[in-house]
Amino acid sequence: MSKRRDESFEQDMHSEKSALHRPDGKTLRLGVLISGSGSNLQALIDAIEDGTLTGVEIALVVSNNGQAQGVQRALRHKVPVIYLPWTRSVGAARRAHQCIAPKKMPESEERLTKLLQLFEVDLIVLAGWMRILSGTFLEQFPQRVINLHPALLPDDGMGSTYTTQDGTAIPVFRGLHAVRQALDAGVKVTGSSVHYVTAEVDAGPVICREEVVVEEGDTEESLHERIKRVEHRLVVEAVRRWGRDHSAASGVQAI
């Protein structure tokens, strides 16, 4: 764990405004992928509407769940939203259960690719997206897909341990049940990370993260709720950092 990275996050969070624009004057366009409540989508909407994150717009929300609460959030704020049914083969379902990314891009990903291109999305944010994206899909959007994960990941996303700010080495929890894993392991600190998505699940380079103390008597639900509150800050900061760090490579200019 890089203490400098976390200190930088503390400093960046004190900045009042973050303006991101492309050289052509257009705003940074986000594609947000959701499967459930959409609370992190709401955090982005709120940051854009209250001016915390300026020069950014949500170009498209895609949900693989037509009944997701996040769909209603998008509709209430007049954000374009599309329900995209996600079909998987038996083999794909097995790989997802084992947290192994599939090798070939299925039809659902082909349709998703066309939507993201049609809506001219610059950055794809996986905000509670409960599907694994293939390496073939990710190759089309290099360094343009980020994910929120409810655990602490090392700077490069790799390895089996993470060193907390107090110097304690804890396991790295990956997969769908990271919060439960933290409680089962008896760690005193967990947290949330925003990282680049790679073909290896929950193993991409970290953009920003924050530690969350595990309190006595915590349940999976209570701990996850506190982690979500941290995520709402992190997702906004991650978008700001992406715009700043990729200004030269992607044509996005941080002001």
Residue (of 67, 57, 58) closest to 35 by Cα position: 67
Residue 56 has pLDDT above 50, yes or no: yes
Reported pTM:
0.85
Q: Work out the percent of the chain whose per-residue pLDDT is above 90.
A: 75
> Where does the pLDDT of residue 244 fall: very low under 50, low under 70, confident under 90, or very high at 90 and above?
confident
**CATH says 3-13+23-249 is which class?**
alpha beta
Task: With a cut of 60, say whether residue 157 has pLDDT above it.
Answer: yes
Give the model's pLDDT for residue 171: 98
Residue 154 reports pLDDT greater than 50: yes
Residue 23 has pLDDT above 70, yes or no: no
The predicted pLDDT at position 8 comes to 45
Q: Which of 14, 21, 77, 149 is catalytic?
A: 149
The pLDDT score that the predictor gives to residue 22 is 55
pLDDT more than 70, % of the chain = 80
| Residue 149 designated active-site | yes
pLDDT band at 170 (very low <50, low <70, confident <90, very high): very high
